[in-house]
Chains A and B, each alone.
Chain A
Amino acid sequence: MMLSDWTLWLEWLIKSLVVTFGLLTGFAYLTWYERRALARIQARIGPNRAGPQGLLQPIADAIKLIFKEELVPAKADKTLFFWAPVITMIPSLIIAAVIPWGPAIEMFGRVIRLSIADLNVGVLYLMSIASIAVYGIVLAGWSSNNKYAMLGGLRSSAQMISYELALGLSFATSIILANSMRMLDIVEAQRNLWFVVVQPVGAVIFWIATLAEVNRAPFDMPEAEQELTAGYHAEYSGMKFALFFMAEYQKMIVVSAILATLYFGGYLGPFVDRFPWLGPIYMIIKIVILLFVMIWVRATWPRIRYDRLMAFGWKILLPLSLAIAFITATGILLADLSGNPLYFWAIPVVSVLAGLFTVAVIYRELRRKAYGRV
């Protein structure tokens, strides 16, 4: 394979276009899906006027936003104000580069892998891009020269870096289980058994940490409407606001895809070896289910208080995810050394016990706070 091979460039270009437009379409219809699902949960109907079942609603929204005036506050830092939404949106798109959407297929006489880049440090790439995402939000909050935006940006950065630790450690847990950082190897390692079975607590920690990373309810403090109006994008309007919106929903899709890949077997499913085209379909089914859980969580839980949010990240998730990573590694090592698979099956048992213990500690602490004398 050489760079001078034009078919390689064509392949990359087609794959990039497919991923980009797939995510853009996914974003548009995720907004529709979220509004419909939320409405159903709250016994409303939701948008159903534009097109059948309201299916044209995202297009109507996009057209509306295009024709909106864009305001730039007089005292804003103009350059940063312009680039902040772009910097937020790019990582949310490129993070999808390493996700494998299916097994390699053969087409036009060449083997085509269904991921843009099959990096051998795939998980490292995910972690680094996920941490870049915070820059755009901080810059947006700072450059607006608005108190609400500034507070929103600060809160968001503190929250995202706090939960990044637990996120990194639960990435490490799946690396330990798969013994590789390549996304394709991680999926193939789950051929017999999804990692969520071996390490259910790791998957839950990952899920909670990603909810905080993408600023979704119940961790949507940066944009808490009641106290910060809109948080870091309070001063944004028109298409620049749309970019922030786009980034948030694309991140939702992508983190669901990552969770599906790391813990729920990725593109694996029945008959996927005989019909490789089933891979992307399984992937999309898993993503939609995980997205529904995200929306469900938003409809169910109230926003948690900021001090509790930080305490939860630092005092509970960090030690727990560390313990989970060690339990996993110890179990695998003991099973390797003694040749007794019983140690391997101790991993889920001990992990769930650790998880239950944590829940009990939280419950006791909250009760003590609720009934204790101050």
Chain B
Amino acid sequence: MLEYVAIALLIALALVVALAAIGLGYLFGPRKQSAVKAQPYESGINPFGEGTRRMPVRFYLIAVLFILFDIEVVFFLPWAIAFRQLGLFGLIEMVLFIVILLVGYIYAWKKGALEWE
């Protein structure tokens, strides 16, 4: 557990570095705000509408698929550590697990969830 204290120390140090960098800019940078400067950047034309608008549903699809397959990777890791002790039984077990997942993968592919048109 001691090792995690060292990491906490490093996180604190990283936070200090990041805040110090912003602080330096705050100290030395000019601050002359104006209405035009505060507009969102849109390549020079007058901005129209909201900046955060509705996004394509594809991104949600990717997120859902990611959760599915990331859990697969998470299940993969303990097996990767212990597969020598588990032997052939573990390998077959893992193949079965992956085959079940592959069915879902092929389904998603055939449904066009992986297409970007």
> B97: shortest Cβ distance to chain A, in Å?
11
Q: When the two chains form their complex, are residues A116 and B6 in contact, meaning their CB atoms are under 8 A apart?
A: yes
Q: When the two chains form their complex, are residues B70 and A164 in contact, meaning their CB atoms are under 8 A apart?
A: yes
Q: When the two chains form their complex, are residues A117 and B7 in contact, meaning their CB atoms are under 8 A apart?
A: yes
> B71: shortest Cβ distance to chain A, in Å?
11
- Complex Cα distance, B52 from A142, in Å, reads 7
> B98: shortest Cβ distance to chain A, in Å?
7
Q: When the two chains form their complex, are residues B80 and A70 in contact, meaning their CB atoms are under 8 A apart?
A: no
Residues of B within 8 A of A13 (CB): 9
Residues of B within 8 A of A276 (CB): none
Please pick, from B9, B76, B91, the residue contacting A333 in the complex, using a CB distance under 8 A: B91
Residues of A within 8 A of B52 (CB): 142, 145, 150
- Complex Cα distance, B80 from A117, in Å, reads 22
Q: When the two chains form their complex, are residues A318 and B69 in contact, meaning their CB atoms are under 8 A apart?
A: yes
Q: When the two chains form their complex, are residues A117 and B4 in contact, meaning their CB atoms are under 8 A apart?
A: yes
Q: When the two chains form their complex, are residues B66 and A172 in contact, meaning their CB atoms are under 8 A apart?
A: no
- Decide yes or no whether A179 CB sits under 8 A from chain B: yes
- Chain B residues bordering chain A, tally (CB within 8 A): 66
- The secondary-structure label for the interface of chain B is helix
Q: B residues 57-91 with Cβ under 8 Å of A?
A: 58-59, 62-63, 65-66, 69-70, 73, 76-77, 80-81, 83-84, 87-88, 91
Q: B residues 30-64 with Cβ under 8 Å of A?
A: 30-33, 35, 37-43, 50-53, 55, 58-59, 62-63
Q: When the two chains form their complex, are residues B18 and A146 in contact, meaning their CB atoms are under 8 A apart?
A: no
- Complex Cα distance, B4 from A34, in Å, reads 34
Q: B residues 1-35 with Cβ under 8 Å of A?
A: 2-7, 9-11, 13-15, 17-19, 21-22, 24-26, 28-33, 35
- Decide yes or no whether B114 CB sits under 8 A from chain A: yes
Residues of A within 8 A of B66 (CB): 161-162, 164-165
Residues of B within 8 A of A142 (CB): 52
Q: When the two chains form their complex, are residues B40 and A86 in contact, meaning their CB atoms are under 8 A apart?
A: no
- Decide yes or no whether B95 CB sits under 8 A from chain A: yes
> A326: shortest Cβ distance to chain B, in Å?
7
Interface size class of A (residues with CB under 8 A): 35 or more
Q: When the two chains form their complex, are residues A94 and B18 in contact, meaning their CB atoms are under 8 A apart?
A: no
Please pick, from B18, B76, B91, the residue contacting A90 in the complex, using a CB distance under 8 A: B18
- Decide yes or no whether B109 CB sits under 8 A from chain A: yes
Residues of B within 8 A of A124 (CB): 77
User: Hey, which bits of chain B sit against chain A, CB under 8 A?
Assistant: 2-7, 9-11, 13-15, 17-19, 21-22, 24-26, 28-33, 35, 37-43, 50-53, 55, 58-59, 62-63, 65-66, 69-70, 73, 76-77, 80-81, 83-84, 87-88, 91, 94-95, 98, 105, 109, 114-117
With A158-B58, A169-B76 given, name 7 new contacts (CB 8 A).
A66-B24, A89-B17, A94-B10, A175-B80, A240-B25, A243-B22, A336-B84
User: Hey, which bits of chain A sit against chain B, CB under 8 A?
Assistant: 1, 3, 8-9, 12-13, 15-17, 19-20, 24, 65-75, 82, 85-86, 89-90, 93-94, 97, 116-119, 123-124, 142, 144-150, 154, 157-158, 161-162, 164-165, 168-169, 171-172, 175-176, 179-181, 229, 234-235, 238-240, 242-243, 246, 306-307, 310-311, 314-315, 318-319, 322, 325-326, 329-330, 332-333, 336-337
